């Protein structure tokens, strides 16, 4: 996201420090995540110390200060999937990629998220990768499914 575009969003909020959260949300809508350059620009334009902008951006779960991975893995942990062992699936995937839910791995190939009901309860436990739902019946299947995306 270039500087002009960031400035455009900031101007829309009249460069008000009180609009920080709404403004960051709007920028993230466009850019997908909040890079350090974005936070620095916002801090400069709003006259809010960079530290406070960072504090806000890291406090709320809605903000991402790390870009999403190439593949986004959503593990359903809704009631149906949970009772069919979704937690074990989540742990297994986490071990395999080496990250915890909510994190992205170092080479940005995978992001892992624990979600509540994804709406495919009959298939549970369900793992959704890049929008495609996979039904995981045995833990061994986890390896096969993840491998397809590596």
User: How is 69-131 classified by DSSP, letter by letter?
Assistant: PSEEEEEE-SHHHHHTTHHHHHHHHHHHHT--TT-B-TTSSEEEEEES--S-GGG-SEEEETT
Where are the extended beta strands (E) located within 40-103? 71-76
- Give the nearer residue to other proteins in terms of CB position, either 66 or 137: 66
- Give the nearer residue to other proteins in terms of CB position, either 47 or 107: 47
Q: Is 59 in the site for other proteins (CB under 8 A)?
A: yes
- Give the nearer residue to other proteins in terms of CB position, either 21 or 121: 21
The distance of closest approach from Cβ of residue 141 to other proteins in the complex, given in angstroms and rounded to an integer, is 31
Q: Is 49 in the site for other proteins (CB under 8 A)?
A: yes
User: Which has the closest alpha carbon to 105: 61, 56, 149?
Assistant: 149
Q: Is 137 in the site for other proteins (CB under 8 A)?
A: no
Q: Is 40 in the site for other proteins (CB under 8 A)?
A: yes
* Choice from 2, 29, 61, 122 touching other proteins (CB under 8 A): 61
Name the token pair of 30.
């466009």
List binders of other proteins among 106-135 (CB under 8 A): none
């Amino acid at each position: 996201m270039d500087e002009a575009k960031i400035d455009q969003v900031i101007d829309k909020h009249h460069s008000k420090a009180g609009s920080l959260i709404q403004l960051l949300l709007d920028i993230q809508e466009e850019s997908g995540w909040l890079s350090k350059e974005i936070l620095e620009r916002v801090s400069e334009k709003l006259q809010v110390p960079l530290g406070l902008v960072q504090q806000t951006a890291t406090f709320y779960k809605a903000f991402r200060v790390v870009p999403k991975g190439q593949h986004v893995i959503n593990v359903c942990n809704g009631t149906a999937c949970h009772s069919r062992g979704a937690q074990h699936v989540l742990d297994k995937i986490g071990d395999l990629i080496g990250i915890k839910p909510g994190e992205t791995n170092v080479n940005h190939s995978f992001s892992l998220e624990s979600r509540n009901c994804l709406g495919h309860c009959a298939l549970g436990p369900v793992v959704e990768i890049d929008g495609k739902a996979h039904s995981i019946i045995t833990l061994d299947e986890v390896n096969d499914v993840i491998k397809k995306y590596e």
